[in-house]
Every structure is written in structure tokens, then in C-alpha cells.
Amino acid sequence: MGKIYTRTGDAGQTAMIGGKRVSKSDPRLAAYGEVDELNSMLGLCGSLLEGNPGLDAGLVLEVLARVQAELFRVGAALATPEEVRDQYALPPLEPQALSSLEEAIDRLEAELPKLRNFILPGGHPAAAQLHVARTVCRRAERGLVAVRNDTAEDRFSLQYLNRLSDYLFTAARWVNHRSGRTEKIWKG
């Protein structure tokens, strides 16, 4: 493997999959950068959960690991111009990715008290970080809306990010519940 630096981006451009050079301010590049940021944020969430064995967060850690791999697929699709997608054997986001997130939400919600108010993000450090990840996920979702083509793959990625933000919200609530932290109710 060569050096990590190539100097090819020093003038503010980068290559997408297929070699097309674009400005680093290109909206599609921003969108997959937001997906990458979300992926990194999930890594941080996982590290915080692993450091708290009392939470018994194995199910959440398992979902986060799977989601990180799935986000690479979303990012790869965004990094590949539609006109060259057929030339690359990029693995698509599998249809069961969405139903798996919904099942994971249902499992966590089964342990939680019914949500009757808006809650303020915070509580346990891992829960607070999951809330931050949720907001990054919403930003990535908006980035995808801004650049998406009307392809089935882009529509599915959009659904996936929408459901992922629901999962992250639920996981944050679950961590607070498991750790004995009381959710702070928003009093408007």
C-alpha cells in the first residue's frame, strides 16, 4: 500500500468512484461526508457502550456494528456517479436492513416507558452521544435529499437514514433507562 497522502486533493478537488474529479464543495461529496461523519459517531457511541459492561448493551453494539457496515454501502452509492454505477460491483443496501432496524427499535421500546413528552438530549454519556449521532443522521438525511436521484437505491437509502435516526433516539432512551437515568422532560 502506498502513502496515505496523495496530494491530488490539494487544490480543492477529489475523485469520485470512477475517477470523475469534483470540487470538495460538491453537494454529493458533502452528503457522503456526512454519512462518513455519522459512521465515525457510531464508532464513538460503541466505544462508550463497550466501556459500560453494567448496561448489558450487547444488542445495541451488535446493531451499531451492522449499521456501520451498511453506512459504507450508502456512502459508496453516493460516491459513485449514476452514469458509472453499472461498471462497479458495489454491494447495495439490502432490503432487510430497514426491517432489521425496525425490529431493533421494537426490542428496545419493549423495555421503555411510553413516551408522553418531548425529552431533552442528555443523561448517560453514551445516551448523550447517541443523541448527537441522531442529529448527525438527520443532517446526513437532509444531505441525501439535496442530491438524490430518483433511483430506487437513493429512495431506499433515504428511508434507511430516516429509520436509523429513530433507532438512535430509541437507543439513547434505552441507555438512559438501563443506567437508571431519568429523562429530562422539556417544559415549553
Rounded CA gap, 123 and 150, in Å?
A: 39
Q: Which three cell numbers stand for residue 65?
A: 456494528
Rounded to whole angstroms, what are the CA distances from 40 to 25, 26, 141? 20, 21, 16
- Enter the CATH code of domain 24-80+95-180: 1.20.1200.10
Q: HSE of 26 in the Cβ direction (CA atoms, 13 Å)? A: 18
> Residue ranges of the domains in the chain?
24-80+95-180
Q: Judge whether residue 40 has pLDDT over 90.
A: yes
pLDDT at 16: 75
What does the pLDDT look like over 76-125, one tens digit per residue? 888 888 788 778 878 888 989 999 999 999 999 999 999 999 999 999 99
Most confident segment among 48-57, 129-138, 149-158: 129-138
> Percentage of the chain with pLDDT > 70?
98
Cell of 146: 439535496
Which residues are bridge partners to 184 per DSSP?
120
The β-bridge partners of 120 are 184
Reply yes or no on whether the pLDDT at 15 is more than 70: yes
For every residue of 102-130, DSSP letters joined together read HHHHHHHHTTSPPP-S-EES-SSHHHHHH
